[in-house]
Amino acid sequence: MNTLIESLRSALESIRAHAFRSLLTSLGIIIGVTSVIAVVSIVQGMSHTINAQFAGLGSNSLTLRSHTPFKQAMQGKFAKLTDSDMRAIERQVDGISHITPVLYAASGRRGGVTYRSQTANTNVMGIGPSYLRVNGVYPQLGRFFTPDDEKRRRLVCAIGEDLIEKLELPKDPIGEFFLIGSDWCKIVGVIERRGEILGFSQDDFILLPYATSRRIMGTTRRDLDIQVQLLVDDMNRLDEVKTRVRRVLRKEHNLKAGQPDDFKVQTAEQLTESFNAVIDTITAVSAGIVGISLLVGGIGIMNIMLVSVTERTREIGILKALGATRNDILLQFLIEALLLSLIGGLVGVALGYGLGALVSTMLPGFPPAVVPLWAVSLSFGFCAAVGIIFGIVPAAKASQLDPIDALRYE
């Protein structure tokens, strides 16, 4: 233990005595770790935020959407989910508590709305009465749609908070009218704020009763492509319901055995897993690229330690003459290389988190940076490995010096 403590003290003294050179030696490690932590903090911050949004869907929810296989798309044939598909699911699949269609009626320039002299573009969606229960969002002002609104195709809507600012509506806009295309629509509710993801607002929308949105798009269009969202009564039956839904849709779409599905049935967990797979790939590729800096830093440490061995040859000779063993010398130089690498890692972690937080703050609506414990542990572990691997050669060279030759060295 005394040998270890003395070796540590000697290594710290050597680093302090050559502080500027030690900083330059660790620069490669600092840059590598800073890059890794900055990339990971930004990506993981984004991952945490979006996972929280997916979690809001509920683990017992299913989302159905059309999916066109590549071969059919090349032939100009595009799949659709229609009202008849949703009704078939309602009739033939047990264990569903709530089901809602989602029709994207307009977006971008096509989603133009006007209030007095103000005009804005937004997303216009037609939804069923169960939409709020399925997605876990509720009005913070006013009300939501009633079955009578749906039945009579009333031009009533619930809006996101961002639309209040964009159209310069009153703070309490309930009862106000604005134009959607050529139709006057009455605001009956304001949905609670959900914030932004990657700079994209989740509160810039207009929700209409599903029948009303079909009326706006044209009552003759019976082949509109919709999404279907539903909640399963019993979480333990989720896979069973999912399988049953798939069978019903394949039958409705006249798909033969061997033909691929022209739809997707996804749970909230699958959406999360798909997103996390992308995030993990980005993290791994980014970490692998910037990890090259750590190897360059390791080579720099080895070069400087070899120079240090040459500079301290007489010191090594004196230590051996006083009774220091090869293991003592090996340990002293190995600890010095390890400390250089770990100090570089510590500085890199601090700078990386600061850089990630700065980037997240500067980008409007971007999630805050998050540095997971595994990223810090991995960085220090890699730094320790670099210090040991690239420090072993100089340390071995120092331990093998002949004491007589070392004492004669000028």
Residue 164 to residue 172: CA distance in whole angstroms: 9
Q: What is the pLDDT of residue 340?
A: 81
pLDDT over 60 (residue 373): yes
Q: What is the pLDDT of residue 335?
A: 80
Q: Which amino acid is residue 316, in one-letter code?
A: I
Q: What is the pLDDT of residue 54?
A: 58
pLDDT digits (tens, 9 = 90+) for 117-148: 888 888 889 998 888 888 878 889 999 888 88
pLDDT digits (tens, 9 = 90+) for 323-344: 667 777 777 777 877 888 888 8
Give me the percent of the chain exceeding a pLDDT of 70: 79
Q: What is the pLDDT of residue 259?
A: 82
Q: What is the pLDDT of residue 408?
A: 57
Q: What is the pLDDT of residue 264?
A: 86
Least confident of 64-68, 171-175, 285-289, 368-372: 285-289
Report, as an integer, the average pLDDT of 48-70: 71
104 against 25, higher pLDDT: 104
Q: What is the pLDDT of residue 6?
A: 65
Report, as an integer, the average pLDDT of 74-83: 80
Contacts of residue 316, defined as CB under 8 A and 6 or more positions apart, other chains included, come to 309, 329, 398, 401, 403, 406
User: Mean pLDDT score of the chain, rounded to an integer?
Assistant: 79
pLDDT over 80 (residue 402): no
pLDDT over 80 (residue 405): no
Least confident of 41-45, 197-201, 290-294, 360-364: 197-201
Q: What is the pLDDT of residue 383?
A: 80
Q: What is the pLDDT of residue 186?
A: 93
pLDDT digits (tens, 9 = 90+) for 301-331: 777 777 777 666 677 677 667 666 777 777 7
pLDDT digits (tens, 9 = 90+) for 193-223: 877 665 567 788 999 999 888 888 765 455 6
SS3 readout for the chain: CHHHHHHHHHHHHHHHHCHHHHHHHHHHHHHHHHHHHHHHHHHHHHHHHHHHHHHCCCCCEEEEEECCCHHHHHCCCCCCCCHHHHHHHHHHCCCEEEEEEEEEEECHHHHEEEECCEEEECEEEEECCCHHHHHCCCEEEECCCCHHHHHHCCCEEEECHHHHHHCCCCCCCCCCEEEECCEEEEEEEEECCCCEECCEECCCEEEEEHHHHHHHHCCCCCCCCCEEEEEECCHHHHHHHHHHHHHHHHHHCCCCCCCCCCEEEEEHHHHHHHHHHHHHHHHHHHHHHHHHHHHHHHHHHHHHHHHHHHHCHHHHHHHHHCCCCHHHHHHHHHHHHHHHHHHHHHHHHHHHHHHHHHHHHHCCCCCCCCCCHHHHHHHHHHHHHHHHHHHHHHHHHHHCCCHHHHHHCC
Q: What is the pLDDT of residue 158?
A: 93
Contact status, residue 167 vs residue 331, Cβ threshold 8 Å: no
Contact status, residue 225 vs residue 193, Cβ threshold 8 Å: no
Confidence of residue 190 (pLDDT cuts 50, 70, 90): very high
Q: What is the pLDDT of residue 303?
A: 77
pLDDT digits (tens, 9 = 90+) for 227-274: 898 888 877 788 888 889 999 999 988 888 888 888 888 776 666 666
Q: What is the pLDDT of residue 16?
A: 73
Q: What is the pLDDT of residue 173?
A: 92
